[in-house]
Structures are given as C-alpha cells and as structure tokens.
Amino acid sequence: MTIFVIMPVKRLDDAKSRLSTLLTDDERKQFCLTMLEDILRTVKSTASIHQTVVISKAPEVFNIAKNFKATYLNESENGLNEAVSEAINWCIRKEASSVLILPADIPLVTPTDLERMLALREKAAMVISPSRNGKGTNALLLTPPNVGGIFYGPHSFQRHLEEASERKISVCKFKSSRIALDIDTVKDLKNFISKNGNTSSTNKLLNKMGIANRLVNAH
C-alpha cells in the first residue's frame, strides 16, 4: 500500500480573518505558515506515509514544502474541492494506493493519530475524522484515491457520509480531539494554547507574539 498525504493550502492574503481582532495581517500569515510546518513535521515523522503533496496558489508555501521534501503542486483550479481533486489525480498517476487529505490548520495532530487512522484503511474504503463541531471534515482517507467524491464546504462531514451511502462505500469514523481542533476563531486559539503546552513551533510563535496578554481582552 502506497499512501500519499494531500494538504491544500489557501492563499494567505486574507488568511484566518476571524482572528483579525487579535492578529495583524502579517501575523496571521506567519501563524498559518508555522502551523503548516508543524503538520508537515508530523507527517514526515509518520512511517506509513510515502509521499506528501502540498497544493496551493500561495507562493510563500513553496519553500516550506521544499524544506520538508514535500511535492508542491501549483493549484490551477479555483476552489478547495477542485484543488483536492487535482491533487488526487496527480497521486493516482504516481500510483498511490490511498490518499489522506489533511487541512493545514490542525497543529496538534501527532504521528500516532495518523497511524491509528491509516490502520483503518484495511477495514473501510473511506475513513473520515470530523471537526470539533461534528460538521466539518478534518481528515479524509480514501482507498483507492478515487473511491468517492470530494465535498468540502458547509456540512462536509455529512455530505461525505451521504456520498458513501449512495455509492455503497464502506466507511469508518475516526474521532481524535487533536485532529478535530482546527484553529479559526479566538475560542479555538484559546483551546489550542490550553492543550498544547510549549512543544510546537506554533505555540512558540504565539508566545513570541505575546498572545496570552492579548487574549485577556479578547472576546
């Protein structure tokens, strides 16, 4: 089994806009890039993964992908679903047996989380891990890579499950508090800091920014 990871990264011009009351434009960009580094480091440390593919239109992402020996694809289509589909087709051409699609904003994820999820591919063609509110899809494992459609956006978790049901695709749900925590809001950021200790590059960056003092007055 040859497993590829796909990580789509949005343009950083208006990244994490819901954190704009707390972080400047430049700080939000750096925050996104540092989270990407943490996740790429985790993926690189996961023994079962053979290759990582980062697809983006953000020029700042290219060097980070290169530093982690990840393949960088310059996104040619508009939209997350189109970008992921483009990357899946690339992985199929490279003879991937499975693809694991991960977002670039779940910095708590560990190699153990990924290995546990990957082990489930023997039981189901689709393994899906929800966001904290249960509506989003924070990790999606497909075996083979084109077994089902891609439906990121509002209520994507349910839409992926409906797709599996309609096409009679075997499904396994995988719950992980670390995968579930994607950081979009001030509340997410507080949650991340409370759980993370001082181990990740993301947390170190936030400490350097003096984020704890800002959060005292944040709503």
Has residue 219 got a pLDDT over 60?
Answer: no
Measured N-to-C along each axis, helices 111-119 and 25-44 cross at an angle, to the nearest 10 degrees, of 60
Range of weakest confidence among 69-78, 98-107, 168-177: 69-78
What's the confidence (pLDDT) of residue 13? 84
- 219 close to 190: Cβ distance less than 8 angstroms: no
Asked whether residue 134 carries a pLDDT value surpassing 60, the answer given is yes
Q: What is the pLDDT of residue 78?
A: 82
Domain boundaries, the chain: 3-205
pLDDT tens per residue across span 40-89: 999 999 999 999 999 999 999 999 999 999 999 999 978 999 999 999 99
Beta strands, E only, the chain? 3-9, 49-56, 71-74, 98-101, 126-130, 137-142, 171-173
| DSSP category for residue 143 | S
pLDDT at 146 over 70: yes
Mean pLDDT, residues 200-205 taken together = 92
> CATH homologous superfamily for 3-205?
Spore Coat Polysaccharide Biosynthesis Protein SpsA; Chain A (3.90.550.10)
Type of residue numbered 192: F
What's the pLDDT at 198?
A: 63
pLDDT of 94 strictly over 90? yes
Is pLDDT at 14 greater than 90 in this prediction? no
